[in-house]
Structure 1
Amino acid sequence: MRLFDMPDSGNCYKVRLMLALLGRRFERIVIDPDAGETRTAEFLALNPYGKVPVLEVSPGEFLPESNAILCHLAEGTPYLPAAGMDRARVMQWLFWEQYSHEPNIAVARHWLKHLELDEARRAELAVRQEKGRAALEALERRLTEADWLAAGRFTTADVALFAYTHVAPEGGIGLNPFPAVRAWIARVEDVPGFVPLSA
């Protein structure tokens, strides 16, 4: 397998983390979106949306979208329940992550780390940070009542949410008000096979 990857992207990191947890070997191809490398004709042939990550799962077969990749990789493993409500609960968190969590926490982080903020973007940043805190409050409520997000065990839901949650402070969204989230982050980091974002 080949992974088209941006090292600082949480969406790419969650795929690298899942591959590591599964012990799967892969070739890593680093792409720089800021340099226009996701807008070339060659890359758009792999993913017409022009985004990373993209996993070449077999020669000539390319799968974009981080959570779709997670589900593909985890199929048939304990990281993705086979059927029923446990699987539905995992999917619930995966969908929520891309709609309510990532667009706020990840975007705030990207803007602060990689862009110069004009007045309009600075105002929008405050909105994203507020929504990011609301997302962390939802996680806190869940993790106050359970060690893991779904199915009573560590799953792809935890992988997906960990990727940007643990770096939320880089987007100006502190974790101090969220003790259950901080404890969960420590549990994820103790899972056998765990690799950090910088790996």
Structure 2
Amino acid sequence: MRLYSMPSSGNSYKIRLLLALTGRRVEVIDCEYGSPALAEAKLAGALPYGKVPVLSLRDGTQLAESNAILWYLGEGSNFMPDSPVVRAQMLGWMFWEQYNHEPVIAVRQALLNYPHRAADATPARLAELLERGHTVLEVMERQLAVSDWLAGSEISLADICLYAYTHTAGTRGGYAMDRFPGISAWADRMASMPGYKGLHG
């Protein structure tokens, strides 16, 4: 398999993290923003939606969208719950991540860390994202204050999905993570998983 991945992107990192935790090997093509590799991948038609991550299977099938790729790679692993109810709860968190979490937490990090986004990093926009982000993180905190994991009693794809942008919310996004002890303890549990690799690992 071949993974087209942006090294600094949380959406790409969640795929690399699951691969590391499951001990699976793929060829990784680094496609950072503005890189020749990204331009070449687009020109070659390797990115169905024009963006990374994309997982190219051995038969040439291309899978796009990070959480769909997580689902594919998670089949048959310990990160896919047996219970239909817990699987539905896991999916709920994964849908919520893309609709509520990523558009706030990831966007503030992008505005602060990518030079090509700097023009959009106005004080008003950053302040809005900071306030909204703390509200979003509080949703996770309420769950993680009473449970070790987001869906059910074991780690699942939901945790890998949400970890990607949450674990850098303080360092890259400027969020006050000391307000969320449940999230901090959860992040420590994630980082202690066998096979774990960090964002730049």
Which residue in the other structure is 1:166 paired with?
Answer: 167
Which residue in the other structure is 2:181 paired with?
Answer: 179
Alpha-carbon distance between aligned partners in 2 of 1:86 and 1:97, rounded to the nearest angstrom: 17
Is 2:200 aligned against 1:198?
A: yes
Is 2:104 aligned against 1:110?
A: no
| CA contact 1:37–1:43 (8 Å) conserved in 2 | no
TM-score (norm 2): 0.91
Alpha-carbon distance between aligned partners in 1 of 2:51 and 2:4, rounded to the nearest angstrom: 9
TM-score (norm 1): 0.92
| CA contact 1:54–1:62 (8 Å) conserved in 2 | yes
Mean CA deviation greater in 84-93 or 122-131: 122-131
Q: What letter corresponds to residue 123 of structure 2 in structure 1? A: R
SS at match of 2:57: strand
Which residue in the other structure is 1:29 paired with?
Answer: 29
Where in structure 2 are the equivalents of 1:121-140 lying within 5 Å?
121-140=122-141
Q: What letter corresponds to residue 29 of structure 1 in structure 2? A: I
SS at match of 1:63: strand
Is 2:151 aligned against 1:150?
A: yes
Gaps of 5+ in 2: none
Map Cα deviations across residues 86-128 of structure 1 (whole Å, 9 max, x no partner): 1001000000011111111111001101136347743222212
Q: Percent identity?
A: 45
19 and 41 in structure 1: CA distance in 2 versus 1, 3 angstrom threshold: closer
Q: What letter corresponds to residue 181 of structure 2 in structure 1? A: P
Is 2:10 aligned against 1:10?
A: yes
- In angstroms, what is the RMSD of aligned CA positions? 1.9
